[in-house]
A and B are shown apart, each in its own frame.
Chain A
Amino acid sequence: MQDYARYDIKDFLADEAFCSWVLHQKPADNAFWENWIRNNPDRAGIVTAAKDLISEIHHAQNYLSEDELQHELQRLSAARKSATEELEYAESLDNRSEQNWFAKNWMPRFSLTLGVLTCFVVLFYFYTNSNLKTGQSEISQKSLKDEKNENWIEATNNKATTKYITLPDGSSVRLSPESKLSYPATFVQHEREVLLNGEAFFNVTKNPESPFKVYTSDVVTTVLGTSFTVKAFDGDKDVRVVVKTGRVTVAANAPQNKTQEPEKNELVLLPNQQVVYHRDDQKMKRSLIENPVQVGPADITSQNLVFEDAPVAKVFESLQKRYEVQIIYDADLMAGCELTAELGQEPLFEKLSMICKAIQARYEVIDGQIVIHGSSCR
């Protein structure tokens, strides 16, 4: 393990692993660095600065405009096409002379060859057909059902009101109008899989040995036990997963489609975070929901938070606990900041604005986390 805590900005820039994370954003690296920043909040400023600088150095070295790029790609594609045609013409000439030779020497065996060829064509047809099927997400959902070889229950909600469903493992589902949920009559051990088309809120019974998976046409949401909403209507441009409690993993559901970028295909979500999967560009983006809610029993969340000359670290800590969001700030720098306030039921972002105003700081939401840019208040 590198001692990143002693790194200054130059060391971060020179570090291969750090550089690779900034430029390639691999999920595994994301997890490592998010965790590291969480554990070293006082270094967050340097990490952010190094990260920004690398991105800027990256952009500063771009000399090609989008128009030029498209133009060149078209030129290349056209040149490639004419190269292929020339080649095919040359090959067809070759073939013609071959055919003459063929007619003279091999006519008697032609019928046999034809028979063998037909066999191949038929085999090839079946082969490609079976391949095609797995390439389509809808059909692959069905095959997921078929494979299980058991009774599946299909719950469709055509009414205008929410439909309540209890799954065989005790988990509850609130199915929104015009939505459909398919689930097995009994869950096989170690496997809790359901298919969703539309919107539903899941409250999943905890079972660490058997992950609960919600399949939609584009993303798979995996949890051990928690509550969250999945919204995936067929006609919509994006798919949304919003977490209420616990921890949820969202992955792109397209391993069979080889032309897709495998990058950023898995994200971990915490409460009050959501992921939006854009169907157009097949990208996932993590953010905070518009109005984060307090997590926990109502008798605790209904109490106001009262601070009297409290260090801001304590204030942020209470907010982190109440909303289960990540707040990143420079604890050393802001050690002198104190706050006297009473925080009630106003929205989280309003609370943050108030606090930031009092300590002359500002906040920013980056990748589903709150980053405080402040100064020492002495």
Chain B
Amino acid sequence: MRKPAPVPEDEPHLGELWNRFRQNDEQAFDELAKRRYRLLFNYATKFTKDTELIKDCIQDLFLELWYRRTRLTDTSYVTVYLICALRNNLLRKLKVNTRLDDSADIAASCEGFTDNLTVETMLISSESMSQKEREIRNAINRLPKRQQEVIFLKFYEGLSNDEIAKVMEIERQTVSNFIYRAIAQLKTDLPSFSNVIPQIILSFFLKFLS
């Protein structure tokens, strides 16, 4: 059986940028941010829909890395490192915000955004999206929080189940359960999804009957 390669294609390049930036290379730092910013931003939307908070969080994360650059260690998987770091920062910040604001609890700050999709971010880039992609987005947003996160890590970044387990601090088996459940749910929710196979069979029967 073919083992999936654990490290994506541009990861060695990121590793190299990482090492250069640890040695004060400013261009390497900017390049690294450029390559991973979108991923980190989109990942953060799984925790909060407050885009300003997300932007600040990512800015802080990168600046923190820049301050500590000489003390950072070599890492073989920069992407997972950044994802983990952002996840910790976000959860910490969300907790603090919740404590300051009595009326909200962590559940609300994390999960209160799934039904009211009026937030501006939900519209962003949606013009460039196909009808089907919009349906998919809505279906994903209806999934439970943890499943959304798994789906993101798997289908946005292509992380392996092991890596997802590491990021989310759960068992590998739990990850694969989440994936199967989420895919099954998406299959029920998305007409276009379940149509793929039956469509062919259906058209066959229709032709046959006519």
CA distance A2 to B4 in the complex (A): 12
Range of interface residues on B (Cβ < 8 Å): 35 or more
Give residues of chain B (174-196) contacting chain A, Cβ–Cβ below 8 Å. Answer: 176, 179-180, 183-184, 187, 193, 196
Looking at chain B's contact residues, is the secondary structure mostly helix, strand, loop, or mixed?
Answer: helix
CA distance A19 to B179 in the complex (A): 12
Q: Report the minimum CB–CB distance from B157 to chain A (whole Å).
A: 7
Chain B residues in 8 Å Cβ range of A148: none
User: A56: CB under 8 A from chain B?
Assistant: yes
Verify B124–A64 contact, CB threshold 8 A: yes
Verify B5–A62 contact, CB threshold 8 A: no
Verify A63–B125 contact, CB threshold 8 A: yes
Verify A61–B42 contact, CB threshold 8 A: yes
Indicate whether A72 sits within 8 Å of B37 (C-beta atoms), given known contacts A14-B180, A56-B132, A377-B207.
yes
Give residues of chain A (276-317) contacting chain B, Cβ–Cβ below 8 Å. Answer: none
Q: B130, B151, B154: which contacts A56 (Cβ < 8 A)?
A: B130
Chain B residues in 8 Å Cβ range of A321: none
Q: Which of the candidate stretches B27-35, B83-91, B92-100 sits at the interface with the other chain?
A: B27-35
User: B105: CB under 8 A from chain A?
Assistant: no
Verify B63–A378 contact, CB threshold 8 A: no
CA distance A377 to B204 in the complex (A): 8
Give residues of chain A (15-46) contacting chain B, Cβ–Cβ below 8 Å. Answer: 16-17, 19-20, 22-26, 28-29, 32, 45-46
Q: A53, A61, A262, A375: which contacts B140 (Cβ < 8 A)?
A: A61
Q: Report the minimum CB–CB distance from A1 to chain B (whole Å).
A: 5
Interface readout for B120-133 with A: 1 if CB under 8 Å, 0 if not?
A: 01101100011011
Closest 5 CB pairs of A and B: A23-B158, A17-B4, A60-B136, A60-B137, A49-B196
29 A-B pairs, CB-CB below 8 angstroms?
A1-B2, A16-B4, A16-B161, A17-B4, A19-B155, A20-B160, A23-B8, A23-B156, A24-B158, A57-B140, A57-B151, A59-B133, A60-B136, A64-B38, A65-B124, A69-B37, A69-B41, A72-B41, A73-B34, A76-B37, A79-B63, A80-B63, A81-B26, A83-B66, A264-B9, A330-B200, A333-B200, A378-B207, A378-B208
With A14-B176, A20-B8, A60-B133 given, name 4 new contacts (CB 8 A).
A20-B5, A61-B151, A69-B37, A83-B67
